[in-house]
Chains A and B, each alone.
Chain A
Amino acid sequence: MSGKADLVSNAAGRRVPRIVNGLEQIPYAGVGKHVPAGRKHAPRIVSCAAHPSNGNKVVGSLEEALRRCGLRDGMVISSHHHLRNGDRIALEVLETAARMGARDLMWFPSASFPCHEPVMGLMDSGVVHHVEGSMNGPLGEYCSRGKMRGLGVLRSHGGRWQAIQDGEVTIDIAVIAAPTADPFGNADGSHGRSACGSLGFALADSLYADHVIVVTDNLVPFPCVPWQIQGGAVDHVVQVDTIGDPAKIVSGTTEITRSPDRLRIAEHVARFLRDAGIMRDGFSFQAGAGGIALAFVMVLKDMMKEAGVKARFVRGGSTKYLVELLEEGLTDYILDGQTFDLDGVRSIASNPRHVATSPFTSYNYHGKGCFATFVDAVVLGATEVDVHFNANVVTHSDGRLLHGIGGWQNCLFAGCTILAVPSFRDRIPVIVDEVTTLVGPGEMIDVVATERGIAINPRRKDLADRVRGSGLPIRPIEEIKEEVERICGGKPERARLADQPVAVVKWVDGTVLDTVWRLGD
């Protein structure tokens, strides 16, 4: 957005815009400080009388469905990212809308992938006004260069539910790509040739959007079970040849890292959980699908077996490594948010103890609790961590958009939050004086595990006490930072960024935590 933005300093001391894409914002006030008021957003009331009583909502094409939904300029179009880099539908929707002459749309994906790069062309041509959702790779670069007409808004998975539920984002048309669906609109992600496991990220869209279109390449007679998305929320169903490329929707195999440094970090994390007494009978944990996280699961698994310990539940993103835990009886349940590989899909489709979850009960901060707050331990990555334990996961140290937030912010509420990161990458320090972009407040981050040692947040003296005498390399974070600076040849220069916001980072409660600035020239 051009012109001088009206900026205010929030409770974290970060300068953030007062107005984002025309809407007044609440600056971040501190963890748990913002008290929401009012009622949830409600979609318009509709009647069965306006829908076919035989339950057949199938229409001939995506274009017809969009027309029937009253597509017009300036609408908010949402999509989910369960098909990941194999998704063909989100782009097809926007391109169809372009052919129909729509302009100034806001695309509201739960995340974007490299396959969505052509959206840049749609922004250049004015079809898409801006994107609110994760932006990586060339799309991230596009936003970082200030080429988008609106500001990017980066939200966590829980924050996206919160924004929809609280009416911060009103979805006009939700398009839900479904690996299996019936003519009534019931939809499931765990079966079909394009199976992706859970469809949890599309649930809020189905409940709160004014119009909902289900697009499937596997139309089955009613009923489609399980129905992760319920037909009662769906306006139209569109049958297509393919919703995506199965090889890119899930990976065939997820490979464990062979990098010695990453294996060492994974081992530090697992030993920490064991020696701090967090790994005990009935415990729970969440780890992502990154290289360190997968290696961590493997190491922890051996330790669990050795100690005769079993988890009550583990949180997905599921991979074959979590499925092995379930099938070997080392956890009672997998509570899955998204499904990363073929073993995960097979398991969620067949094992009642492998449960698809949505961000509503797992992550949404404006709910009557969410279970992310009582997971015993989470293992997360970060691009930067500072000496106050503040962390960045969305931008590279040079300020360029690099990752979405995903469930990362929501997971910070766990009993023990561990960032598993190398202390530097090539010559780029990860442990720094101050993060480029604040995404996780330091008070939420308990442990930073690197290849050169483990730093415990001084706020967590209890954890420090519990691992005393364990032989783990516990070190002050400043000491690790200084060592890294010695190796890299001094403190890195700070990124030179223009004084112009290109995106904002929301906290889990919808307040504005930080600003992403335009890259310098």
Chain B
Amino acid sequence: MAQRGQAGRRGQDVRSDLWVGIEIRDQGGIEIALTSRVEPYYGERIREQTRSILDALQIADARVEIEDQGALPFVIAARIEAAARAAGAADGNARPERSVPLPPPSPRDRLRRSRLYLPGAEPKFLVNAGLHEPDAIILDLEDSVHPDQKDGARLVVRNALRCVDFGRAERMVRINQLPSGLLDLEEVVPEGPDVILIPKVEDPSQVAAVDRRVEECCVRAGTSRAVWLMPILESALGVEHALEIARASDRVCALTIGLEDLTADLGVAKTEEGDESIYARRRVANAAHAAGVEAIDSVYGDVGNLDGLRSWAVRSRAMGFEGMGCVHPRQIRPIHETFAPSRAEIDRALQVVAAFRDAESKGHTVVSLGTKMIDPPVVARAVRLVDRAKAMGLAVEEANAPESEP
């Protein structure tokens, strides 16, 4: 009985991707019909790779049809494996060899000014994403991926985590809504993503479920590497539960908000100024800070309007958010600039820190700067701001304690 499966995309407009059709047979060995834009350069290697993946999947007899539009090897591997699974192959491990070493694990309070969304079904955007130096990239399995492409995207994302160098960017994966998001976890958690974004969270139990599954996956994979969670609140109910959601797991590192779905839920239009979501965003920011996690804003959708992005980001930072999502790399720099503390803020924070150290060294219990008393929370905030500024690569020179007033 022949079993057929297919995966990937075909057609004139497809670039850096491929379509694979597999017919698993009872006999006859492996037959490969390849057309490829890169046939003169990599045709033989694509055939070798195909054979080796089929071998890993324990498929000995099959006809494989490939229409390749210049896909990179990690994409080819993902598409072949997806097609084989669709044809019923369930055995074997065809994970490509890890060609990029795992970066060091993320601290929970890492700098997360920008996170660049990358559709998991569109491999061509993946390979150079890290060059644009976002604080994080998000390999998206949810809204940007058509329901028909979910299985394929999951494998592309899994392979990308093994084979694509994202530079210094933190590697986030947005899983699908539960329960199918739990399947995503099975595939991606063993590859050591730094953060899992959980969409449309309305209830702390959803976070707890993800936490449990992540834990199980880590145990099975024999890893104790940190995997953080970032719940996305995208409904009125989710926003009202913000604090409980933020506290639902020790893995939660940040709360964020999704305004497209939220405005739909509220039945209001999404505007340039965002007045309709002010309450929700303030509530989420407040809950995040109350729970001791980061507050991260939504995305600004108009890629062409960098001035609009900047003013949004200025208001966002003033509300207590520490970063935003990006839908295009050109949004990264304006976001980094806007979420960076100003020179005056850094200088002030350095003075506070210096005054605190000075007081400490002299055994004073009260810290003062000029004629002002400095409360402990102000010191804590200044210490954090200085750390952040350093992490952002802003030149920070330690200030000396200002001379006491005569």
Contact = CB atoms under 8 A, between A and B. Distances in A.
Bind each other: yes
Interface of A: 258, 260-261, 263-264, 397-398, 425-429, 451-452, 486-490, 492-493, 495-496
A397 B37 contact: no
B72 A427 contact: yes
Contact of B42 (A260, A261, A264, A427): A427
Contacts of B38: 426-428, 492
A486 B165 CA distance: 11
B72 A487 contact: yes
B69 A492 contact: no
A398 B37 CA distance: 10
A488 B131 contact: no
Closest 10 A/B residue pairs (Cβ): A426-B70, A492-B41, A260-B329, A489-B73, A427-B70, A398-B40, A427-B38, A426-B16, A261-B128, A493-B41
B132 interface: yes
Contact of A428 (B41, B43, B127, B330): B41
A519 to B, nearest CB: 9
A377 to B, nearest CB: 24
Nearest to B125: A260
21 contacts: A258-B303, A258-B328, A260-B128, A264-B131, A264-B329, A397-B40, A425-B70, A426-B69, A426-B124, A427-B38, A427-B42, A452-B128, A487-B127, A488-B73, A489-B49, A489-B72, A492-B41, A492-B42, A493-B43, A495-B40, A495-B41
Interface in B17-62: 37-38, 40-45, 49
Contacts of A487: 72, 127
B41 A397 contact: yes
A261 B127 CA distance: 10
A451 B132 CA distance: 9
Given A260-B330, A487-B127, A426 B15 contact: yes
A451 B131 contact: yes
A426 B39 CA distance: 13
B364 to A, nearest CB: 42
Contacts of B71: 426-427
A495 B41 CA distance: 7
Given A397-B40, A451-B128, 6 more contacts: A263-B329, A264-B131, A426-B124, A486-B99, A488-B72, A493-B41
B211 to A, nearest CB: 34
A263 B331 CA distance: 12
Nearest to A260: B329
Interface residues of B, number: 26
B42 A488 contact: yes
A302 to B, nearest CB: 12
Nearest to B16: A426
Nearest to A488: B72
Interface in B88-105: 99
Contacts of B99: 486
B295 to A, nearest CB: 27
A484 to B, nearest CB: 10
A110 B207 CA distance: 67
A301 to B, nearest CB: 15
Contacts of B49: 489
A299 to B, nearest CB: 11
Nearest to B75: A427
A489 B37 contact: no
Contacts of A264: 131-132, 329
B42 A493 contact: yes
A425 B49 CA distance: 21
B14 to A, nearest CB: 10
Contacts of B72: 427, 487-489
Nearest to B70: A426
Contacts of B42: 427, 488-490, 492-493
A490 to B, nearest CB: 6
A260 B303 CA distance: 12
Interface in B336-355: none
B128 to A, nearest CB: 5
B187 to A, nearest CB: 23
Given A258-B303, A427-B72, A490 B328 contact: no
A311 to B, nearest CB: 25
A493 to B, nearest CB: 5
A493 B45 CA distance: 10
A490 B48 CA distance: 13
Contacts of A486: 99
Contacts of B330: 260, 263
Contacts of B124: 426
A451 B16 CA distance: 17
Given A260-B328, A260-B330, A427-B71, A496 B132 contact: no
Contacts of B69: 426
A425 B44 CA distance: 19
Nearest to A452: B131
A290 B41 CA distance: 26
A315 B235 CA distance: 55
User: Chain B CB within 10 Å — which of A264, A427, A496 has the most?
Assistant: A427
A264 B127 CA distance: 14
Contacts of A490: 42, 45
Contacts of B329: 260, 263-264
A480 to B, nearest CB: 12
A260 B70 contact: no
A261 B131 contact: yes
A429 B42 CA distance: 11
A426 B128 contact: no
B307 to A, nearest CB: 14
User: Chain A CB within 10 Å — which of B38, B43, B44, B72 has the most?
Assistant: B38
A492 B42 CA distance: 6
A264 B72 CA distance: 21
User: Chain A CB within 10 Å — which of B43, B69, B72, B124 has the most?
Assistant: B72
A261 B131 CA distance: 8
Contacts of B45: 489-490
B44 to A, nearest CB: 7
Nearest to A425: B70
A257 B107 CA distance: 37
Contacts of B303: 258
Nearest to B73: A489
A406 B16 CA distance: 29
Contacts of A451: 128, 131
A397 B42 CA distance: 12
A362 B128 CA distance: 38
Contacts of B37: 426-428
Contacts of A495: 40-41
B97 to A, nearest CB: 11
Contacts of B70: 425-428
B37 to A, nearest CB: 6
B103 to A, nearest CB: 17
Nearest to B76: A489
A163 to B, nearest CB: 32
Given A260-B329, A260-B330, A398-B40, A427 B128 contact: no
Contacts of A496: 40
